[in-house]
Amino acid sequence: MTGKRANGEGSIYPYRNGFAAYVWVETPDGRKQRKYVYGKTREEVHAKWIKLHGEASRGPVATSVPTLAQYLARWLKEVVEPDLKPKTAETYAMHVRLYLVPGLGSKRLDKLGVRDVRAWVNGLLEQCQCCAQGKDSKRDDPRCCAVGKCCRQVPSRRTVQDARAILRSALTNAMAEELITKNVAGLVKVRSARRTQRHPWSVEEARQFLEAARAAGDPLYPAYVLILVLGFRRGEVLGLTWDSVNLDAGEITVQHQLQRIRRQLVHDETKTEASAAMLPMPAICVAALELRHKEQEVARHAAGPLWSGSDFVFTTRYGTPIEPRNFNRSFTARSAKAGVRRIRLHDTRHTCGSLLAALDVHPRIAMQILRHSKIAVTMEVYTHVPSEATRKALRKLGKHLGAPSTPHGK
């Protein structure tokens, strides 16, 4: 450069072993402040100074930019927790703690680039999380990574997709707050994972399971009926209260769920409005809930002053809510005793439509229970009709308390 300064270059000056410059900018909170840039040479600083002038002319500019870890902590507290359901907020916080902060947390928010995110994604797909999180070293008797035998517990592609999506959501909010000008996470793609093939129970297996639970006097038999016949989720069945059940009308309302969040049981509304609905109950469900009501009265009398007084349909013998993980364990144990294949509890929802067909529930009622928008979708399920012996066995389960053999609403 020549010895003569260009217009405005008075703000460029020698600084330590290089040069510095500043531009007066308007911050996101409306104040006027100096924003500084630094470099080894005057030419380098001049280029940064020109770029900063351009940013200042387009809108507010942050003068102090946090690291990604600092920003994510504030984002979780001020945006995610107030706006999202508690379980969703907990999931976001888990991904931030396990994947985002360890991999990218030290990066300054405005310095985070596409290459950084791409390198993080590629590394995460190959990184053993047992090693990264020190899981094995925390055991009393280490057996893999801590003793040099890496177990290769890499995260699934779905987990990496979710972590990247959470980063993208956080950076979208940072753009709205005018801390950054572009969302680099949105420019990095993660190839979709293949859908895992699920193999839910057949109607015959579901019938075998329910018959075994009923014969054994399992107190959770009515809960299993709701899960299999009405497609209830675990949280929905454990969060069910008696004021949502109308046995006389044969109707049940799905509106709450019970979940363990941050070491506490939380009874809250269902995740979405679409999840909430009033459903007609087939006879097997009415009979099962009548049975449950009688059993709970017996338990209440036996517990005496120790009874908690809650309104939950499914409780322990002292009236307290059932721990969700214990419900999973009970379901797995009952499956083994019934001699049926072990499946995930959530997979029972896929058997629901076939069971309704086997119970002779009218397709229009089944459409309402399954929450299908078109009757054609429901009829596809009804083309797979089980044997007559299975149909009779299922209807028999709905008669053991004198309930009518036909479903309500048929």
Which one of 1.10.540.10, 1.10.150.130, 1.10.10.10, 3.40.228.10 gives the CATH number of domain 68-187?
1.10.150.130
Q: Please tell me the pTM assigned to this model.
A: 0.68
Query: What is residue 400's predicted lDDT score, i.e. its pLDDT?
Result: 45
| Average pLDDT over every residue of 20-47 | 86
Query: What is residue 359's predicted lDDT score, i.e. its pLDDT?
Result: 74
Residue 255 has pLDDT above 60, yes or no: yes
Q: Which helix (H) or strand (E) holds 246?
A: strand 245-246
| Top mean-pLDDT range of 91-95, 139-143, 266-270 | 91-95
E-state strands within 27-165: 32-39
Query: What is residue 273's predicted lDDT score, i.e. its pLDDT?
Result: 62
Quote the percentage of the chain above a pLDDT of 90.
43
CATH number for the domain whose boundaries are 203-397: 1.10.443.10
Query: What is residue 275's predicted lDDT score, i.e. its pLDDT?
Result: 60
- pLDDT by residue (tens digit) across 171-220? 999 998 878 888 999 999 888 766 677 788 888 888 899 999 999 999 99
| Average pLDDT over every residue of 383-404 | 56
How many other CB atoms are there within 10 angstroms of residue 25's CB atom?
20
Query: What is residue 72's predicted lDDT score, i.e. its pLDDT?
Result: 95
Range of lowest pLDDT (24-28, 115-119, 228-232, 317-321): 24-28
Query: What is residue 79's predicted lDDT score, i.e. its pLDDT?
Result: 94
Query: What is residue 378's predicted lDDT score, i.e. its pLDDT?
Result: 67
Query: What is residue 292's predicted lDDT score, i.e. its pLDDT?
Result: 95
Indicate the domain borders of the chain. 9-58, 68-187, 203-397
- pLDDT by residue (tens digit) across 351-372? 887 777 777 777 777 777 777 6
d(CA 390, CA 207) in angstroms, rounded, equals 7
d(CA 154, CA 160) in angstroms, rounded, equals 10
β-sheet bridge partners, residue 252 = 245, 279
Give the sign of the dihedral formed by CA 212, CA 382, CA 200, CA 292.
negative
Select from 341, 382, 343 the least CA-distant residue to 362.
382
Q: Decide which of 223 and 384 is more confident.
A: 223
| Average pLDDT over every residue of 292-317 | 92
- Return mean pLDDT, the chain: 84
Question: Is the CB of residue 224 less than 8 Å from the CB of residue 210?
Answer: yes
- pLDDT by residue (tens digit) across 396-407? 666 543 333 344
Query: What is residue 365's predicted lDDT score, i.e. its pLDDT?
Result: 77
Question: Is the CB of residue 359 less than 8 Å from the CB of residue 398?
Answer: yes
Question: Is the CB of residue 286 less than 8 Å from the CB of residue 403?
Answer: yes
Residue 130 has pLDDT above 50, yes or no: yes
Confidence grade of residue 73 (pLDDT, cut at 50, 70, 90): very high
Range of lowest pLDDT (188-202, 278-292, 315-329, 388-402): 388-402
Query: What is residue 2's predicted lDDT score, i.e. its pLDDT?
Result: 45
Range of lowest pLDDT (130-139, 158-167, 268-277): 268-277
| Average pLDDT over every residue of 58-70 | 82
d(CA 331, CA 329) in angstroms, rounded, equals 5
d(CA 220, CA 241) in angstroms, rounded, equals 15
What order of strands is seen across the sheet that includes strand 251-254? 245-246, 251-254, 277-280
